[in-house]
Structure 1
């Protein structure tokens, strides 16, 4: 069968023979050097008697490693019986599933649904609030919930070992890397609580493991076994992206491997084109369609379970909210009229209500701010009045239910803010965030104003009632909930719109509202609908049932809302966040994070990477960069020859893990959002893999010396864990008792 993947497997098996001609400037034994030509031609197992193990011994070692990983995570897992750190968020999100109440969060739902599953299995009724620092009541089996989460973290250690074996690392190295994951202090600490981080790391690890497994089976392509692992890779990608969007980074790693795989196949002259195109089809189905379907299915379950009104209503559109049980939307009279009081919601990326308040713009016009705000507030209420040019005025209470007062497509109107009495206004002043649009403000009052207070309503969509027996409504009139419309400024010709951006702190970080030029009716940022409607002069229509929301619209909107919420997580310049850190601090262990209160009677946890794992892996990253540069220079000078097998080993053992580290680290360097120590968790996993490549590359292949070095590394890893174990297993008593752990003066373990 023609081969694919990075390069043929047979070339890799002879790589050690090819390394003997290349000398490393750093010592006698180079990265491609062997102790002797006899050793180079000898099978790897014969070089190291300690590594001459059978399959039973190999898996016994893996079993022992897994047991150790479980032990350190389950040990004293309930020592702190209060809500620790972000358990206040994720435990609460899980409880919303138990109570079927809709909520909004910046992350996709899979991880929180798994947390909800643990709560359900623990017999939790959803009535505990998970307030930070609050003790768990007797009826809440928080120990089981934490153990459920710890399972995901514990399984990352054997996954690391198996991944390392798949790419050709020796057993000593593979077991060491697994041990480093098992005893990594930050992994242990995060695994002990009801958080997303261990779940995210688990699916990141399974995705990478599946990549390495597919690579190891590249000579068995299209067999049942290869197809199964390709499918599992797609399922794993779908799961990791459904826990956090950080999962997109490991998806890019899988994409990079796939591109290299297809590139190799494309240049394989013996491969029939029909087989090559089949490669494309298999990967499109397994690595694009299936992950997307998993992601989509998670949201389908999410919407199905959360069918009651809850804390997240404000992040959704009117149709979604009105179909939730116990929603707060009032079904008022079916026809809008002059004199009606309304709330108006956007269809744009920020599905917020049109809002204003007494605060003024600090720049521009200096008039009342007009913003988008999703939550219930009487500053969302507007009175529909006659246009300024009409010369007519109407009180807040319409004089009777006159049919001529009802709004129709093309009606001119003036929106008056219920509390400030200011008119919704726009003028040729640039908006405060989107400078290519016009500012929208609250201006004047009943007597003060001009023609720039006037707007024209344009109907763009009418939806029918879900009640088939309800009479058809006049499609020319404006109805709450079911009529989507645009508001065109009569003087400027621009449309009232949301931008999806937010004002700075002076605007309370609420959504930006502008008047923008729009050339198409399909521009959803200019679409609005009336949500609440009050008018005592018109009767409510009996039997009206709002239209059902569409899943696709809800899915797209909730993802935009998640993106908007993520973008809003920026550092507050007016507040000091003692927990926030910069990306450069993580690989250097510049500082850690206190996960709970620091009182003398509290069992305390300090989130900090293990010095052994973190500092060694960081040094390995630097070494790898130098190694690649040196290697490239030698190749350019033709002092070293490269075979396809050499490139394959370098690609899978070194380049791919380094690329994975880079993709999981660099985004946090450049993003504007607030960052914390736990954001380095996935990147550290791949930094450890790069350390494995360095070991396999630079260590001499002499049996005794090899055993001594690996024994020292094993001992160092275990000793470092035992020395620093209190920060992950819980520190009893006064923090000053642990002053010996403050190796770096920026650590705050004992202060």
Structure 2
């Protein structure tokens, strides 16, 4: 390709708009919260679940690791500051920005492959460069820029392949690049399956034409060449993409060997393959909990931490603006050190008649055994070291005022919330719920448990915040009355280190092993089910696909809390509207020409004979881009769930170059 000064100008403009002040804002923007967290999970090796294939997230994780990130991504919501963290967010954004710059160059090459003039190619590249939406989506830690670049490279390589002689070095290189592109595109997002459809149409068209030539003059040599062509395409366009796709999942699973936030979505055999999962830990005591069981309670929220208490009290401190003070009762925290005597709790069953809510009939237990515990039983959690019961009340937690304080209550405690007088012994009763199965047994290491306070209906949880020095920097334990406002794992507990002298030891539970292929199938089943469960309700920034080309509604990605600066995703109205009008106006005369030619058969033959090259170029260029746009766009029209404007970007890129391609053909004619 000769030096094109206009293209250099377009690329320079693109570099400036994609890289200028890339560090701003130094806060988490939109889905950076999710993809940054996924990168941190790869670095820590903790299993997670996401709707999309893993390659794009693996790329971000690799860049984060090379940039020095060694810990978790701590930004939990839009607007959380990167300042002071170890997250190399600038390098991670640079991945997307580099892809955004490359997209403009690939658009130019795609139009050249379709036979367009340099003027037309530069126009197509310029339309992408000046598009606001393309610019914004190329500056964030999200998958869209990677997806669009891989998709366009795939289509471009396939188009250029049709320009070279079969089996030439250039033809083989383009074929290989097409296969690599297909594997990479589908491994980033399943929207990349649209590229499979586009490449499939081009391949079928090309193979069909060559098959007609073979059938017209069948010889042994022509048949062998066609079969060799078919075999090479099968290897490069089917086997190679599948190998890449499966390989990314193999790498994904290899990098996430430890139990994490994604465990609960999967079967017991899948979970048992993860280090530290409750189904992968050996039972060191009786399998089922009973009245009098002594256990340690491990939270599934983040890194391992056990429910803990010690002979230190909450300090007397002002608690917000409501005038309340702390209870000054014994601290309850979560401690990351295992085998600590202060982390042992005895479960005492509340009998019928002792408490008004304990009217549920108990499931019978053999007379020679202590009463076994079942889902819904009422219990006390008694701290073994101090003998005090776990307690919560209407006092704000020390660090999170919206949560209730959790403490251990002694009969002599006199500091109680205003309006409460003396000791209230019934405030130490909890309901034990089994949340991960319909089976009622409360099992050590196997059951996911929730403890709900009988009087206030507040669930015991870890807030995720570290207490100051008076709490020895251990994790805050509190209780919430609204479990829907916190992560499920925050209030999920597992009983381990179970001891009970009157119960028999457990025999080893047999959990079937699961192969890599079994994991791969289950992963895709869960991905499909999660996609089908996505909300169908309208969102403030969701929009129906039919209005996407008209850019009537955008998405607010980020807003400064003080000066109302915003990052708002919106396409360039001038470009989008002109393309919509242009496509509509060009469809009418094209249709009229076809009707006119059909009505005048004798004139049609002369027109087609005289302008055969023009019609072939028109059908080829517009057909590839138009079909590609429809393949990438129409599936969203058929979906019944929340959809957002950014999903239109892959189809938009083909639509934006479809206009220049039509114009080029019109000028040629």
Q: Shorter chain as normaliser: what TM range?
A: 0.5 to 0.7
Query: Contact 1:566/1:673 (CA < 8 Å) preserved in 2?
Result: no
Q: Indicate conservation of the 8 Å contact 2:132/2:571, yes or no.
A: yes
Secondary structure, in 3 states, of the residue corresponding to 1:605?
strand
SS in 1 for 2:260: coil
Q: Secondary structure at the match of 1:261?
A: helix
| CA-CA distance at 1:607 after TM superposition | 0.3
Equivalent residue for 1:62? 7
**Contact kept? 2:37, 2:72, Cα under 8 Å:** no
**Aligned counterpart, 1:134:** 80
* 2:277 aligns with one of 316, 323, 327: 327
Answer yes or no: is the 8 Å Cα contact 1:83–1:134 preserved in 2.
yes
- The partner residue of 2:207 within 245, 262, 270 is 262
Distance 1:398 1:645 in 2: 90
After TM superposition, the structure 1 = structure 2 runs for residues 413-428 of structure 1, keeping only pairs within 5 Å, are 418-419=375-376
Cα offset for 1:278?
Answer: 2.0
The runs of at least 4 consecutive aligned structure 1 residues that moved more than 6 Å come to 333-337, 531-536
Q: Distance in 2 between matches of 1:276 and 1:592?
A: 49
Structure 1, unaligned stretches of length 5 or more? Answer: 1-54, 342-392, 402-415, 422-454, 456-479, 482-507, 509-530, 702-751
User: 1:629 Cα deviation (Å)?
Assistant: 2.5
1:213 to 142, 149, 160: 160
For residues 276-287 of structure 1, what are the structure 2 equivalents within 5 Å? 276-287=226-237
Task: Give unpaired runs (5+ residues) of structure 2.
Answer: 294-360, 379-438, 440-444, 447-483, 485-494
CA distance in 1 between counterparts of 2:11 and 2:177 reads: 22
Counterpart in the other structure of 2:63: 118
Q: Name which of 148, 153, 165 aligns with 2:95.
A: 148
Report the alpha carbon displacement of residue 292 of structure 1 after superposing the two structures with TM: 0.9
Note closer, same or farther for the CA distance 1:555–1:635 as it changes in structure 2 (3 Å cut). Answer: farther
Give SS of 2:3's match.
helix
State the alpha-carbon separation in 1 of the partners of residues 497 and 155 from structure 2. 53
Q: In the TM superposition, what is the alpha-carbon distance from 1:194 to its structure 2 partner?
A: 0.5
Q: CA, structure 1 residues 680+545, in 2 after alignment: closer, same or farther (shift >3 Å)? A: same
TM-superposed CA distance for 1:177, in Å, is 0.5
| Contact 1:81/1:136, CA 8 A, preserved across alignment | yes
Residue 557 of structure 1, aligned match among 503, 522, 525: 522
* Separation (CA, whole Å) in 2 of partners of 1:420 and 1:676: 45
Contact conserved, 1:618 with 1:687, CA < 8 A, in 2?
no
Distance (Å, rounded) in 1 between the aligned partners of 2:559 and 2:366 = 57
Note the 1:646-661 alignment, pairs <5 A: 646-661=614-629
Aligned to 2:140: 193
Which residue number in structure 1 is paired with residue 664 of structure 2? 696
Answer whether contact 1:316 1:554 (CA < 8 A) is retained: no
> Contact (CA 8 Å) 1:333, 1:538: kept in 2 or not?
no
How far did residue 328 of structure 1 move? 2.6
Deviation at 1:286, TM superposition (A): 1.2
Q: Does 1:539 align with 2:505?
A: yes
Is the contact made by 1:331 and 1:532 (CA closer than 8 Å) also made in structure 2? no
Is the 8 Å Cα contact of residues 286 and 499 (structure 2) preserved in structure 1? Answer: no
Tell me the distance in 2 between the aligned counterparts of 1:196 and 1:621: 29
Instruction: Give the equivalent residue in structure 1 for 2:241.
Output: 291
SS in 1 for 2:548: helix
How far off is 1:315 after superposition? 2.0
Q: Is the partner of 1:594 in helix, strand or coil?
A: strand
- Aligned counterpart, 2:583: 621
**Could you list the per-position Cα deviations for residues 84-112 of structure 1 after superposition, in whole angstroms to 9, with x for gaps in the alignment?**
11111111111111111111011000111
Task: List aligned pairs for 1:33-112, cutoff 5 A.
Answer: 55-58=1-4, 60-112=5-57
The answer (yes or no) to whether the contact 1:167–1:216 under 8 Å persists in 2 is no
Q: Which moved more, 1:627-636 or 1:140-149?
A: 627-636
Contact 1:624 1:690 in 2 (8 A): no
SS at match of 1:216: coil
Counterpart in the other structure of 2:639: 671
**What RMSD over aligned residues (CA atoms) do the two structures have, in Å?**
3.5
Residue deviations 1:505-548, cap 9 Å, x none? xxx9xxxxxxxxxxxxxxxxxxxxxx999997442347x88654
Mapped contact 1:166–1:216 kept (Cα < 8 A): yes
Structure 2 partner of 1:528? none
| Structural mapping, 1:18-29, within 5 Å | none
The 5 Å alignment of 1:270-669 reads: 270=217, 272-329=222-279, 331-332=282-283, 395=363, 397-398=365-366, 418-419=375-376, 537-541=503-507, 548-572=513-537, 577-597=539-559, 599-601=561-563, 603-637=565-599, 638=601, 639-641=603-605, 642=608, 645-669=613-637
Instruction: State the shift of 1:127 in Å.
Output: 2.6
For residues 178 and 367 of structure 2, what CA distance do their matches in structure 1 show? 67
Does structure 2 conserve the Cα–Cα contact (< 8 Å) formed by 1:184 and 1:613? yes
- In structure 2, C-alpha distance between the alignment counterparts of 1:166 and 1:99, rounded to whole Å: 44
For residue 149 of structure 2, the aligned residue among 186, 195, 202 is 202
The change in CA–CA distance for 1:532 and 1:105 in structure 2 (over 3 A counts) is: farther
* CA separation of 1:649 and 1:56: change in aligned 2, threshold 3 A: closer
Aligned length in residues = 474
Distance 1:68 1:677 in 2: 24
Instruction: List per-residue Cα deviations over 1:146-176 (Å, max 9, x = no partner).
Output: 1122111110000000110111111001011
Which residue is equivalent to 2:429? Answer: none
SS in 1 for 2:22: coil
Distance 2:120 2:543 in 1: 32
Tell me, yes or no, if the aligned pair for 2:36 and 2:73 is still in contact at 8 Å.
Answer: no
* Structure 1 residue 398: Cα displacement: 4.7
- The match for 2:169 is 224
Closer, same or farther in 2 for the Cα pair 1:651/1:609, shift >3 Å?
A: same
Q: Are the equivalent residues in 1 in contact too, given 2:630–2:651 (CA < 8 A)?
A: yes
